């Protein structure tokens, strides 16, 4: 029996998450054609939902397509990191500050739980760190009443995932990030909007500064 549109869409959703994680982890290399036949076989799916997932990932900025050449993972660059974090700095501190004032107990508990899961994953070096980092930051923003800001911030986080992973590659940085996360969460739970605004901005700026250093060192080796 043919799959219903709902089932196809659900499979495409799941495939998008799987392929996105493969891109973020580096399992699919940048600037190399994505072999859809081979990838579909590896994932035990047909090419139709896989292509749908790749089109959606292109919309998220992780994949690019070229006529007659297919899909490619977008390469990482210092310029893109700058733009992503500049946009996050414009949106996220204010959005989190506003959200802390309207978050109910359920939302607060969600933020606590996700941060605990992120800490455990980071300590164990699990590949879920990127997704949990995104989930924690979004938990601080979602209770706000700015639907469009939340949607744009979520897309920026998807694009930032690879850069977060690159930032955390250096030993000890996850401990700094963990301490900053807990300080942000405490201010957020206390509904201290001014502190949340400042701490989120500092946290994002620290990450951007580290990435500038990383890319600068790579340019120096070239």
Same domain (yes/no): 16, 89: no
Structural domains in the chain (count): 2
Q: What is the CATH number of the domain that holds 37?
A: 1.10.10.10
105 and 195, same structural domain? yes
- Asked whether 199 and 180 are in contact (CB, 8 A), the reply is yes
Verify that 47 and 61 share a domain, yes or no. yes
Alpha-helical runs (H) found in the chain: 5-25, 36-43, 47-59, 78-102, 105-124, 129-141, 147-168, 173-189, 193-221
In whole angstroms, what is the distance from residue 22 CA to residue 17 CA? 9
Question: Does residue 131 register a pLDDT over 90?
Answer: no
Cα-atom radius of gyration of the chain, to the nearest Å? 18
Q: How confident is the model at residue 7 (pLDDT cuts 50, 70, 90)?
A: very low
Among residues 51, 73, 95, the one where a domain terminates is 73
| pLDDT winner (highest mean) among 68-77, 104-113, 203-212 | 104-113
- Least-confidence region, from 19-23, 83-87, 143-147, 188-192: 19-23
| pLDDT top residue among 7 and 114 | 114
- Shared domain for 107 and 165, answered yes or no, is yes
pLDDT of 154 over the 70 cut: yes
Quick one: average pLDDT of 202-210? 93
Instruction: Tell me the pLDDT of the chain averaged across its residues.
Output: 87
CA distance 109 to 111: 5
Residues in the chain: 222
Same domain, 10 and 45: yes
- Judgement on whether residues 50 and 88 belong to the same structural domain of the protein: no
Q: Which of 73, 94, 114 is the last residue of a domain?
A: 73
Q: Find the range with the poorest average confidence among 6-15, 28-37, 76-85.
A: 6-15
73, 97, 126 - which closes a domain: 73
**Section 212-216 average pLDDT:** 85
Same domain, 153 and 176: yes
Are residues 123 and 34 part of one domain? no
Domain membership of residue 134 as a residue range: 78-221
Residue 222 has pLDDT above 60, yes or no: no
Q: What's the CATH number where 185 sits?
A: 1.20.120.530
What tokens appear for 188 in the block?
């957020």
Instruction: Indicate whether 67 and 97 sit together in one domain.
Output: no
Give the whole-angstrom CA distance, residue 167 versus residue 213: 10
Provide mean pLDDT across the span 166-174.
Answer: 75
Judge whether residue 13 has pLDDT over 60.
yes
pLDDT tier at 171 (50, 70, 90 boundaries)? Answer: low
Q: Quick one: 83 and 187 in the same domain?
A: yes
Same domain for 45 and 128, yes or no, is no
Same domain, 103 and 125: yes
Examine the pLDDT at 83 and tell me if it is beyond 80: yes
């Amino acid at each position: 029996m043919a799959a219903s549109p709902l089932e196809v869409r659900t499979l495409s959703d799941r495939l998008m998450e799987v392929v996105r994680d493969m891109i973020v982890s580096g399992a699919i290399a940048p600037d190399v054609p994505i072999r859809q036949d081979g990838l579909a076989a590896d994932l035990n799916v047909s090419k139709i939902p896989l292509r749908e997932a790749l089109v959606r990932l292109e919309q998220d900025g992780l994949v690019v397509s070229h006529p007659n050449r297919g899909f490619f993972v977008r390469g990482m660059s210092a310029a893109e990191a700058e733009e992503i974090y500049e946009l996050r700095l414009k949106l996220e501190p204010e959005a989190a500050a506003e959200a802390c004032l309207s978050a109910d107990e359920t939302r607060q508990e969600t933020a606590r739980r996700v941060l605990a899961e992120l800490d455990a994953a980071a300590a164990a070096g699990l590949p879920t760190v990127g997704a949990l980092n995104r989930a924690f930051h979004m938990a601080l923003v979602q209770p706000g009443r700015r639907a469009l800001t939340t949607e744009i911030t979520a897309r920026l986080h998807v694009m930032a995932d690879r850069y977060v992973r690159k930032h955390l590659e250096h030993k000890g940085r996850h401990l700094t990030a963990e301490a900053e996360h807990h300080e942000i969460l405490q201010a957020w739970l206390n509904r201290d909007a001014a502190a949340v605004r400042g701490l989120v901005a500092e946290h994002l700026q620290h990450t951007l500064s580290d990435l500038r250093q990383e890319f600068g060192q790579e340019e120096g080796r070239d």
